[in-house]
Chain A
């Protein structure tokens, strides 16, 4: 009797393990082929590399490559992602709080516009955005295209609707009494936000940071347009596409570049797995 159930479970375990292998097989291909020479990779793409030490040689090549500029691209990606995240998180939380706590027509109208904007795809605004940024620069002299300022500013604008929506929903579930008590104790309005509300928002902040973080780190089209090609500031996805375009079919190096682009995300995932999964589910269901 035990056997029937046990056999079923063993079959399930086996099927799932096979699927798991199929899912990570592409990553295995990247790792083994990053350690091959150009000749080896065209002859034997499936076999293990002759010398794993070659991986180091390839990594050094990509590290020093002029198209990838790995250290600079990595730094640019880190700067753009972290600064955008910190500002989206703060500005959206502030905005959502006043929108949720102010019961006026103007307030509801502004919130409605933010929610409605979640439907707007990047495609419909991307061409005018470029010409609008150019116009602003011509008038004010503030450089927005090909600069950190321009891309971070863009991410704040594009990240605001979803982030405000998530914060707004969470804030509505916080009892008002807490803030009223602080007001009676003589707290200023802005102090109430920074001392009381903002710390309570921690769980939803994690969601907002994860959702926007994965989007911004991996984003390709917006940096391609706002930063442009051949810029000294380039993010990792731009660097990889730049390199793959310039070194067509040099798979030993392209795959090494890909490996180096993936490593930071995978390390990050291993450390923050719980928050990432939670955040992404919470963001999708809303």
Chain B
């Protein structure tokens, strides 16, 4: 009797696990190991497993780090990620403070700040392309002291330094409302009594923000920092629709794309430059950076838990 029940248990275990596990192995596990292997080969549409495929060691990785476009893209992604982390979190936190105070329309405000996050990055990028290329120059024509905006030379998307700032603006708009919601949850968890007690002791709102709210939502900062870090590092959709990586610029005497983030560089290396193996090697590098970020996150969280 016991034996048959155990058998039934075993059967249910595998039957219930199978659909999810099968799909997971087929689309993630197998391609992951294939990809890790292909990164060290001359893999291409003509060189496949059944012929022509050669092991070439670290060549794809070494060549990647010799390619100005990749080095530039790597550095640019770092700068973009840092800038986005700062602006998204600053604005999100400010918004959260505003909409947790006693405003009349706070629910409408919350919804308004949150909505950009529900619409895909691709569509957001096109909207902002229109704003930067058409609406802002038109503003320059209407308002006399902003006439510089109407000059085609001053379009934000026409120079790579300003274009990357434009990308930071769009991603701030995209993510601030979402991060705000996390801060709101944290702020609303702070017991009201703490504020009441501090008020009686004569603390003003700035002191209460510094001595009560900030320490109480510190845990949320770890979450939001890592979330924005990972989101920004992986940014692809807005990059494609807002700038497509352009405008071009020069680095080490080679023309390269001026706003091409890593995810787009990986895609373009494989499909535009037609170098599948090199694109795969860059994807492996991309993965390693993200894995390190995640390990640091786990470490920081564990440490925090112990402290608590």
Interface, chain A (partner B; CB < 8 A): 9, 12-13, 15-17, 19-20, 23-24, 26-27, 29-30, 33, 41-42, 44-46, 87, 91-92, 94-95, 97-99, 102, 107, 110, 113-114, 117, 119-121, 123-129, 131-132, 136, 153-154, 156-158, 160-161, 164, 188-190, 193, 214, 217-221, 237, 240-241, 244, 251, 254-255, 258, 261-262, 265-266, 269, 273, 276-277, 280-281, 284-285
Residue of chain B at shortest CB distance from A95: B20
Question: Taking the nearest CB of chain A, how far is it from the CB of B207, in angstroms?
Answer: 15
Q: How far is the CA of A153 from the CA of B23 in the complex (A)?
A: 6
Among A19, A30, A44, A217, residue most surrounded by chain B Cβ atoms (within 10 Å): A19
Number of cross-chain contacts by CB at 8 Å? 244
Q: Name 13 interchain pairs, CB-CB below 8 A, sorted by A.
A: A45-B138, A87-B19, A121-B287, A125-B27, A127-B279, A132-B34, A157-B28, A160-B20, A161-B24, A189-B9, A237-B120, A262-B119, A284-B178
Could you say which of A193, A262, A285 contacts B182, with CB atoms under 8 Å apart?
A285
Q: CB distance A219 to B120 under 8 Å?
A: yes
Q: CB distance B118 to A265 under 8 Å?
A: yes
Interface, chain B (partner A; CB < 8 A): 8-9, 12-13, 15-17, 19-21, 23-32, 34-36, 38, 48, 95, 98-99, 101-106, 108-109, 111-124, 126-128, 130-131, 134-135, 138-139, 142, 173, 177-178, 181-182, 185, 223, 227, 234, 236-237, 240-241, 263, 266-267, 270, 276, 279-280, 283-284, 286-287, 290-291, 294
Residues from chain B with Cβ under 8 Å of A273 in the complex = 111
Q: CB distance B31 to A128 under 8 Å?
A: yes
Question: Taking the nearest CB of chain A, how far is it from the CB of B299, in angstroms?
Answer: 14
Could you say which of A12, A87, A94, A98 contacts B98, with CB atoms under 8 Å apart?
A12
Known: A42-B134, A124-B287, A131-B34. A30 touches B127 (CB 8 A): yes
Could you say which of A41, A99, A128, A154 contacts B35, with CB atoms under 8 Å apart?
A128
Question: Taking the nearest CB of chain B, how far is it from the CB of A263, in angstroms?
Answer: 10
Residues from chain B with Cβ under 8 Å of A280 in the complex = 117, 178, 181
Q: How far is the CA of A131 from the CA of B35 in the complex (A)?
A: 10
Known: A26-B131, A29-B130, A41-B134. A124 touches B284 (CB 8 A): yes
Among A26, A240, A269, residue most surrounded by chain B Cβ atoms (within 10 Å): A26
Residues from chain A with Cβ under 8 Å of B240 in the complex = 220, 241
Known: A127-B280, A128-B35, A221-B236. A23 touches B113 (CB 8 A): yes
Q: CB distance A16 to B99 under 8 Å?
A: yes
Question: Taking the nearest CB of chain A, how far is it from the CB of B258, in angstroms?
Answer: 20
Residue of chain B at shortest CB distance from A134: B48
Question: Taking the nearest CB of chain A, how far is it from the CB of B30, in angstroms?
Answer: 6
Q: How far is the CA of A44 from the CA of B284 in the complex (A)?
A: 47
Residues from chain B with Cβ under 8 Å of A117 in the complex = 24, 28-29
Residues from chain B with Cβ under 8 Å of A277 in the complex = 114, 181
Q: CB distance B13 to A107 under 8 Å?
A: yes
Residues from chain B with Cβ under 8 Å of A158 in the complex = 27-28
Question: Taking the nearest CB of chain B, how far is it from the CB of A114, in angstroms?
Answer: 7
Known: A46-B139, A154-B27. A94 touches B20 (CB 8 A): yes
Q: How far is the CA of A154 from the CA of B185 in the complex (A)?
A: 33
